[in-house]
Amino acid sequence: MSSTRNSAVPTLRLVPLLSALCMFLVACPGEPRPPPPIGNPPGTGGPGTPGPGTGSDADGGLVLASDGGTFDAKPSCTGGSTSCQGSCPDGGAVCLGNCGFLPPVRYALGGEQADLAAGDLQNDGFEDLVTADTGGKVISVLLNRRQGLFQTPSLWRAEQPTSMALAKLDGNSSLDVLTTNSGNSTLGLYRGRGDGTFERLLSSPSAALLRDLKVWEENGNRRAAVIKADTQEVSVFAVNGDGSLGTATSYLASPEPRALVVTDFNGDGRPDLAVAHAASCASTPQDTTCESVSVLLGQSDGTFAAQRFTQTGGTPLGLVAARLDGDAQADLIVADSRRHQVLVLIARGDGSFFVQASYPTVRSPSRLLLMDVNRDTVPDLVVGSLGNEVGVLLGQPGGSFSPQVALSATNLEAGIRALASSDFDKDGFNDLAVLTGSGVQLLWGICR
């Protein structure tokens, strides 16, 4: 889509969620709803209960308002040290040179978390966090309260959301949330009000197993693409002026499509689609569509050409794009889960690639994120595994990477689902948010 321990490890604070979430806005017996946080009164679109919206849930789909409390704060460390390792009293920082991360602070959310996104939902210059909770059938919104604090979440009704994207879909200044929903095979739209609350619009039917989702802008028009795993397609939607989705055009995506990237791979200024295909070639060794990455080049009329394949081998589960060799064409980095490595694929300019290098990494890598960890303006690669490992490969000029430094010493929970990065506290250092199956773990960036 990145990211000197204090004298006491941050204590765990459980989110005061209902023991069983009520999906129809009916209070659970014996479990009173906490009051809305301090702010505008309910029904006015403030941080309490949202007001009605045309063609949407009367309250925007709010299931549970935040109680106004906050999670544990960013660890405080002793200043004055000129080294990353010496920046906290007990030496618990994870360092890559003179930059790195403080020990993680855990934001327990429960449920079955599936995806994570960061964006400024309040238009205050500070990025907030949103998670997709498949098990709880909600999206969780964690508002940034600055100074290293995030507010306990408000929960918004969803239908088993599996992936999400944040974008200004209706063209105003506020971010909206678009989700893929496995519960009813729909795309759900939450139109942002600019204060961290939403108007939940009616879902767009899709009738397929939805896997990955991307949103982009092209010639002033917004578009969205989603992987349909069971029909082996990528569907591309036009976004209407109100943020709702128009009719989809579907393109063949071949077996087991897993991850999707949208960017310009041939330097013509038009967005192209790249899809990772995880199907094994063991039974069909002559098949060029398995264990591969395919690219659908964008055309001048807004359609996409037939896919062109580059075989990667292994099991490609994650993709991220970057201009690694300095030309106008985006290149790809692929997470090969079976061979426990990442591959650097350099674009040839025609929708195909060649493998420039491979780097050993965490076991079973599946999530990739580019962020600048050490403040040298060169993107670094963060890799998350299917287990509880996170590694960082520092980027080098020319598009290569240094050997991985593991962040496993941070005791991350098992089941890493997603990665996100931002300078959440505006201290000049990028922070890393790691989504596990049950919550977020925030690794605050540090440099000396």
Strand bridging mode 105-108 / 13-14: parallel
Residues 296 and 368 in one domain: no
Q: pLDDT band for position 38 (50/70/90)?
A: very low
Integer Rg of the chain from CA? 22
Reduced to 3 states (helix: H, G, I; strand: E, B; else coil), residue 141 is: strand
Selection from 338, 257, 268 nearest residue 294 by Cα: 257
Residue written as tokens 């929903």?
A: 181
User: How far from 77 is each of 2, 40, 71, 72, 242, CA to CA, in Å?
Assistant: 22, 36, 18, 15, 47
Q: pLDDT band for position 79 (50/70/90)?
A: low
Q: Is 250 exposed, middle or buried (0-12, 13-18, 19+ CB in 10 A)?
A: middle
Residues 98 and 125 in one domain: no
Mean pLDDT, range 421-430, rounded to an integer: 96
Selection from 332, 422, 322, 340 nearest residue 383 by Cα: 340
Residue written as tokens 């064409």?
A: 329
Could you tell me the residue range of the domain that residue 429 belongs to?
81-110+364-447
Q: 261 is written with which tokens?
A: 């990237």
Nearest-angstrom CA–CA distance, 345 and 358? 9
In a domain, 52, yes or no: no
Nearest-angstrom CA–CA distance, 177 and 421? 17
Lowest-pLDDT range, 19-23, 248-252, 440-444? 19-23
Residues 306 and 431 in one domain: no
Residues 369 and 359 in one domain: no
Residues 327 and 205 in one domain: yes
Q: pLDDT band for position 15 (50/70/90)?
A: very low
Residue written as tokens 């990455």?
A: 293
In a domain, 302, yes or no: yes
Residues 328 and 425 in one domain: no
In a domain, 54, yes or no: no
Ramachandran class of 124: left when φ > 0, alpha when ψ lies in -120 to 50, beta otherwise = alpha
In a domain, 50, yes or no: no
Contact 304, 284 (CB under 8 A): no
Domain boundary among 363, 386, 413: 363
Residues 299 and 286 in one domain: yes
Residues 132 and 259 in one domain: yes
pLDDT at 82: 66
Q: For residue 302, what is the domain's CATH number? A: 2.130.10.10
Q: 398 is written with which tokens?
A: 């020319």
Selection from 20, 24, 115 nearest residue 62 by Cα: 24
Q: What is the pTM of this model?
A: 0.85
In a domain, 179, yes or no: yes
Nearest-angstrom CA–CA distance, 184 and 261? 24
pLDDT: which is higher, 146 or 98: 146
In a domain, 14, yes or no: no
Domain boundary among 317, 340, 363: 363
Lowest-pLDDT range, 15-29, 213-227, 348-362? 15-29
Nearest-angstrom CA–CA distance, 309 and 289? 6
Residues 146 and 232 in one domain: yes
Residues 144 and 239 in one domain: yes
Number of domains comprising the chain: 2
Mean pLDDT, range 139-168, rounded to an integer: 95
pLDDT at 408: 60
In a domain, 168, yes or no: yes
pLDDT at 411: 61
Mean pLDDT, range 196-223, rounded to an integer: 86
Handedness of CA 423, 427, 429, 435 (dihedral sign): negative
Residues 179 and 149 in one domain: yes
Q: pLDDT band for position 51 (50/70/90)?
A: very low
DSSP-assigned letter for residue 184: T
Mean pLDDT, range 130-147, rounded to an integer: 96
Mean pLDDT, range 271-277, rounded to an integer: 97
Selection from 189, 196, 48 nearest residue 120 by Cα: 196
Residue written as tokens 């360092």?
A: 95
pLDDT: which is higher, 54 or 221: 221
Residues 207 and 242 in one domain: yes
Q: What are the φ/ψ torsions at residue 227 (nearest 5 degrees)?
A: -85, 130
Nearest-angstrom CA–CA distance, 54 and 393? 48
Give residue-wise pLDDT tens across range 107-133. 999 899 999 999 999 999 999 999 999
Lowest-pLDDT range, 7-21, 205-219, 337-351? 7-21
Q: 54 is written with which tokens?
A: 């045309």
Residue written as tokens 């960890």?
A: 373
Selection from 439, 436, 336 nearest residue 387 by Cα: 436
Q: Is 298 exposed, middle or buried (0-12, 13-18, 19+ CB in 10 A)?
A: buried
Reduced to 3 states (helix: H, G, I; strand: E, B; else coil), residue 5 is: coil
Q: pLDDT band for position 253 (50/70/90)?
A: confident
In a domain, 66, yes or no: no
pLDDT(37) > 70: no
Domain boundary among 332, 363, 394: 363
pLDDT at 30: 36
Give residue-wise pLDDT tens across range 289-344. 999 999 999 999 999 999 999 999 999 999 999 999 989 999 999 999 999 999 99
Nearest-angstrom CA–CA distance, 309 and 330? 16
Contact 373, 3 (CB under 8 A): yes
The proportion of the chain whose per-residue pLDDT surpasses 90, expressed as a percent, equals 63
Lowest-pLDDT range, 12-26, 297-311, 345-359? 12-26
